[in-house]
Amino acid sequence: MNPAETAEPTVETRKSTEVESVFVSNYPPFSFWKPERVSDFEGVLQAPPQDDVPLGLYLHIPFCRKRCKFCYFRVYTDKNARQIASYLDALAREVELYSVLPAVRDRHLKFVYFGGGTPSYIAVKHLKQLVGRLQAALPWDAAEEVAFECEPGTLTRSKLEAVREIGVTRLSLGIENFNDDILQENGRAHLSHEIYRCLPWIREQQFDQLNVDLIAGMVGESWESWRESVRKTIDVGPDSVTIYQMELPYNTVYSQGILSGSLASPVADWETKRAWQDYAFDELAAAGYEVSSAYTMVRRNPETGEARARFVYRDSLWQGADMVSAGVASFGHLSGVHFQNVSSWGEYLGRLEEGKLPLARAFTTNATERLTREFILQLKLGIVDPGYFRNKFGVDPLDAFGEALGRLRDRQMLELRGDDRIELSRQGLLQVDSLLPEFYEEKYRHARYT
């Protein structure tokens, strides 16, 4: 059966971890973004933006030491220094092209996000050259947040000094697990000794925020190993901890083995992964953290009781911010139009050598789709203020989404607390991505996400 024709599994029927995309990062689904809509995006680039809409910059650094067996991003493990330099030159050129267009020109950046791949993979020399050109095109001196993803084994003291020097405020360390056997089985490039080697260097630089990533349900995980990873994370004492539940999108090494019949699904079922994340949330709460989203706990200040960490990138996007997104296969949003770049290395470099933006597909949203997008993404926070949507969209979400909210309330996934608060239960929070299709328009509900 064509995956595009299969219905989205409900909370009650989704048990095993099957090959599918679960994590919801945008709306409408990517499968509806089309090449013929690129002209719409090119049109909005020539028009001034709406007043008071924040702007961010995403930079895709697609290089890694190894490809994880669960990775579904566009990454490369076979590029030499010359090829990396060529890519970074193209990346800078792409941002320079955007910087002179009416939709971007003279706007201040609220956030910058270096994602991957592994941004910390590139050499200090290349990083400084890239940032010099980016800053000249779109300065981020006044940005509220500059976030940078790292893999422990790629870090040195001098590289962390350079990362701090370019203005990074939020360092995100992809630990994923502390067990070496699990790290190796899942194809991670680093081992636990590299985690502990880099932590003193990170502390020396006094980043505003250190975030640690974990994955619940990596192949080989057990209750014993998971408890140990949670304990060691708390010992590290990061400002925030982000926990993802392992999924199996179609283009991962594990998924291809399952689809070919050469591998039985090696990933724990959803009930087990939710139980592991639930345990981690409880342990982190006992250690002074509070829930920030379905994935993230942030540490409280023991004196004020307030959270020490923010995530400007996340909160801005979930409230409809514009984002220039540069790099191969990256996707962003400007003036109500979603867009994604080409996913081929050669085509990406070739377009930019010709002085053209490397656009592949786009989608022009209407008011209802923009409302739905913000509503479902903000549900991931666990608490939604209906007044925000009344003020911004002139629509009461309690009316617009009343039937779906009622169904989820009946299943004890959320509570409606008067007219001013929608609150997910812990049960709902731990499986929020599987709930979000309840709010999709019918034409999007049963489509393949990507």
d(CA 247, CA 271): 13
Better-predicted residue by pLDDT, 424 or 308:
424
Nearest to 44 by CA among 360, 317, 365, 335: 335
The β-bridge relationship of strands 331-334 and 289-291 is unpaired
Predicted confidence band of residue 200 (pLDDT cuts 50, 70, 90): very high
Q: Is the pLDDT of residue 233 over 80?
A: yes
Q: The dihedral of CA 430, 147, 111, 133: what is its sign?
A: negative
Spatial contact of 248 and 254, defined as CB atoms under 8 Å apart: yes
Residue with tokens 């200040």: 301
Domains 1-23+367-450 and 29-314 share a fold: no
pLDDT at 101: 98
Q: State the CB neighbour count (10 A cutoff) for residue 351.
A: 20
Phi and psi at 435, nearest 5°, equal -85, -25
Q: Is the pLDDT of residue 206 over 90?
A: yes
- Across the beta sheet with 383-384, the strand order is 383-384, 422-424, 414-416
Better-predicted residue by pLDDT, 448 or 141:
141
Question: What digits encode the pLDDT tens for the residues 354-410?
Answer: 999 999 999 999 999 999 999 999 999 999 999 999 999 999 999 999 999 999 999
Spatial contact of 230 and 283, defined as CB atoms under 8 Å apart: yes
Question: What digits encode the pLDDT tens for the residues 155-174?
Answer: 999 999 999 999 999 999 99
Predicted confidence band of residue 123 (pLDDT cuts 50, 70, 90): very high
pLDDT at 4: 31
How high is the mean pLDDT of the chain? 94
d(CA 240, CA 229): 15
Q: What average pLDDT does the segment 227-239 reach?
A: 98
Nearest to 323 by CA among 15, 109, 86: 109
pLDDT at 14: 56
Nearest to 434 by CA among 150, 2, 60, 10: 10
Nearest to 252 by CA among 67, 8, 117: 67
Question: What digits encode the pLDDT tens for the residues 293-321?
Answer: 999 999 987 777 777 789 999 999 999 99
Q: What percent of the chain has pLDDT over 70?
A: 97
Spatial contact of 15 and 269, defined as CB atoms under 8 Å apart: yes
d(CA 32, CA 295): 27
Q: pTM for this one?
A: 0.95
Q: Where do the domains of the chain lie?
A: 1-23+367-450, 29-314
For the purposes of burial, counting CB atoms within 10 Å of the CB of 284, is it exposed (0-12), middle (13-18) or buried (19 or more)? buried
Nearest to 323 by CA among 335, 311, 315: 335
Q: What percent of the chain has pLDDT over 90?
A: 90
Question: What digits encode the pLDDT tens for the residues 47-94?
Answer: 999 889 999 999 999 999 999 999 999 999 999 999 999 999 999 999
For the segment(s) 1-23+367-450, the CATH number from 1.10.10.920, 3.40.1800.10, 3.40.50.300, 2.40.110.10 is 1.10.10.920
pLDDT at 15: 81
DSSP 437: G
Q: Is the pLDDT of residue 11 over 60?
A: no
Residue with tokens 């090959």: 19
> How big is the chain, counted in residues?
450
At the topology level of CATH, where does 29-314 sit? pyruvate-formate lyase- activating enzyme (3.80.30)
Q: Cα 22 to the chain's mean position, in Å?
A: 13
Phi and psi at 103, nearest 5°, equal -70, -15
The neighbouring-strand residues paired with 27 are none
pLDDT at 265: 78
Q: Is the pLDDT of residue 1 over 80?
A: no
